[in-house]
Amino acid sequence: MKLIDNWTKAWKFTSVQTALIIAVVSALYAAWPAFMSTVSPFWYSVGMIVLSLTVVVMRLIQQNIEQQ
């Protein structure tokens, strides 16, 4: 396994940011019972699918982080 050349700037990648959003939402859903009661499992699953597919799409798009 070889890391990308600019791995230290990976936090600027849209795909990495989206993956972090997925992790935070998943943690909130598991840790906060009030959140669980407001969002049905179906809509939670739909949201996670959409966010996960967004990560895939973002990984396919060229991201010029040097200009940010």
Does some domain include residue 3? no
User: What is the structure's pLDDT at 46?
Assistant: 92
- Contact, 13 vs 63, CB < 8 A? yes
User: What is the structure's pLDDT at 38?
Assistant: 82
Does some domain include residue 50? yes
Does some domain include residue 67? no
In the DSSP assignment, the letter for residue 6 is T
d(CA 59, CA 24): 19
**Domain span including residue 39:** 8-62
- Contact, 18 vs 62, CB < 8 A? no
pLDDT tens for the chain, 68 residues long, are 777 777 788 888 888 888 898 888 888 777 777 767 788 888 888 988 998 898 888 878 776 666 54
Does some domain include residue 68? no
Does some domain include residue 15? yes
Does some domain include residue 44? yes
What pTM does this model have?
A: 0.62
d(CA 35, CA 44): 10
Token pair in block for residue 2: 């070889």
Does some domain include residue 2? no
Counted domains in the chain: 1
